Amino acid sequence: MSDIEALKREKQALIEKMLDMQKQFIEYEHDHGVSGKDYWASADGLLATYRHEYLDMANRVVDLAHEIVGSSRV
């Protein structure tokens, strides 16, 4: 397997996890409602680390996409 293929697989795995996180968030929001305070400052449950984890994964996906095509993020 080439390095590019490994990067593509990592990118796809992250995208799938992000989609699963979105689904969980939507279900949580429908069941409990989510205020801005909950989203930005929750200290427990699903929302405690959601925003940070999701942002880290999204940034990694962008970095991987650039690495795959040989460009750079400016």
Task: Please determine, for residue 56, whether its predicted confidence score (pLDDT) is greater than 70.
Answer: yes
| Residue 40, in any domain of the structure | yes
Q: Which of 5-14, 36-45, 52-61 has the lowest mean pLDDT?
A: 36-45
| Residue 64, in any domain of the structure | yes
Q: Give me the pLDDT at residue 61, please.
A: 98
Whole-model pTM: value is: 0.86
| Residue 46, in any domain of the structure | yes
| Residue 74, in any domain of the structure | no
Task: Please determine, for residue 2, whether its predicted confidence score (pLDDT) is greater than 90.
Answer: no
Range 18-24, long-range pairs (CB < 8 A, 24+ positions): 18/54, 18/57, 18/58, 18/61, 21/50, 21/53, 21/54, 21/57
- Please list, in sequence order, all residues whose beta carbon lies within 8 angstroms of the beta carbon of residue 15, skipping any fewer than 6 positions away: 61
- What is the total count of domains within the chain? 1
Q: Give me the pLDDT at residue 21, please.
A: 96
Query: Residue 39's domain spans which residues?
Result: 3-69
CA distances from 57 to 8, 11, 13, 54, 63 (A): 14, 9, 10, 5, 10
| Residue 32, in any domain of the structure | yes
Task: Please determine, for residue 1, whether its predicted confidence score (pLDDT) is greater than 70.
Answer: no
